[in-house]
Homo-oligomer: A and B are copies of this chain.
Amino acid sequence: MAALKQKISEKTVERLSVYRRHLKELQKKGKTRVYSHELAQIVAGTPAQVRRDLMQVGGNGCSSKGYEINLLSDEISELLDYPEKQNVALIGVGNLGRALLGFFSGSRENFDIVATFDNDPDKCGRIICGRRCYNADQLKKIVGEKKISTAILAVPAEAAENAVKDLIDAGVKAILNFAPKHITTNSNVFIQTIDMTMALEKAIYFSHKNTYAKESQHERNRKNYQSTF
C-alpha cells in the first residue's frame, strides 16, 4: 500500500543511510525487531518522522511489533544501492586523500574505490593504499573504462573548481567534495560539499551558546522518550 517510486528527499536519503547502519549493528547483536521510537533516537528525530521515512521504502512495519530488522535493512539497501557495486574514484592523494582512502576501505558492499588520481609525478604509477594512482590527465580514459560514477575530491581549495570541471567532463555523475570551496554546476551532476572548516567554525560558534535551535528539539524529544518509556 506504500507510495512507491515517489521522489525521495535528500534529508530522507540521509536518514535512511543512518538507519541502515544502525540496523546492521542491531543484526550483529542478534536483535530481530525494532520500533520507530528506537530508530528515532539514533537520528534525534521523532517516531513519526521515522515511520514517514520508512513508508517510502515499503512500510512493512507491524502494528505493536515494530519493524523486522533483516527485511527493513534489505529494503533500504534496495532503495539506496544499485544492483552492481558502484565504482568510485579519489582525486587528490595528499594526507587527507590517503586518510579518506583508509576510511572508505574495508568491507563495503555497495561501493569500491577503484582508482586514485594526482598530478604529482612522484605518486603517479604507484600503488597507494592498494589502489593504482593515475596521472590526472588519465581521468577521462579511466572513468570511462572503469565505469566510475562518483568521485571523492580531496584537492586543495584552489584546485577544486578545475577538478570539478574535469570530473564532469569525464562523465562522473556525483562528486563528494572535501575542498573548502562551494562549487555549483549547471549540469545534472550532484555535488555534495563537506565543508569541514565551516563545520568547525559552526561548532566553535555554538560552543558558547547554550541554547540553539536543534538542541531544544533534541531536548524535547529526549524528554518525551524518557517520560513515555
What residues make up the interface of A, taking CB atoms closer than 8 Å to B? 7, 9-10, 13-14, 17-18, 21, 41-44, 80-82, 86, 88, 95-96, 98-100, 102-104, 110-111, 149-150, 152, 172-176, 180, 182, 184-186, 188, 190, 192, 194-215, 218-219, 222
Q: Which of B14, B199, B202 contacts A202 (CB 8 A)?
A: B14
Q: Report chain B residues within 8 Å CB of A192.
A: 199, 202-203, 206
Q: Which of B86, B172, B198 contacts A18 (CB 8 A)?
A: B198
Q: Report chain B residues within 8 Å CB of A174.
A: 203-204, 206-207
Q: Which single residue of chain B is at the shortest CB-CB distance from A129?
A: B95
A102:B95 contact, CB within 8 angstroms: yes
Q: A210 to B189: give the CA distance in the assembly, Å.
A: 8
Q: A203 to B205: give the CA distance in the assembly, Å.
A: 28
- How many protomers of this protein does the assembly include? 2
17 A/B residue pairs, CB under 8 Å, sorted by A: A7-B211, A7-B212, A9-B213, A10-B206, A17-B195, A17-B198, A18-B195, A21-B197, A41-B184, A86-B207, A88-B200, A96-B103, A103-B196, A150-B203, A152-B200, A185-B218, A188-B210
Q: A208 to B82: give the CA distance in the assembly, Å.
A: 9
A149:B213 contact, CB within 8 angstroms: no
A212:B200 contact, CB within 8 angstroms: no
Q: A210 to B182: give the CA distance in the assembly, Å.
A: 20
Q: A80 to B206: give the CA distance in the assembly, Å.
A: 9
Q: A205 to B56: give the CA distance in the assembly, Å.
A: 15
Q: Min CB distance, A33 to chain B, in Å?
A: 21
Q: Report chain B residues within 8 Å CB of A102.
A: 95-96
Q: Which single residue of chain B is at the shortest CB-CB distance from A9?
A: B213
Q: Which single residue of chain B is at the shortest CB-CB distance from A180?
A: B21
B152:A176 contact, CB within 8 angstroms: no
Q: Report chain B residues within 8 Å CB of A80.
A: 201, 205
Q: A100-B196, A149-B208, A185-B218 are in contact. List 16 more A-B contacts (CB 8 A).
A: A10-B212, A10-B214, A14-B202, A17-B202, A82-B208, A96-B100, A104-B196, A104-B197, A104-B200, A149-B204, A172-B207, A186-B219, A188-B210, A190-B206, A192-B202, A192-B203
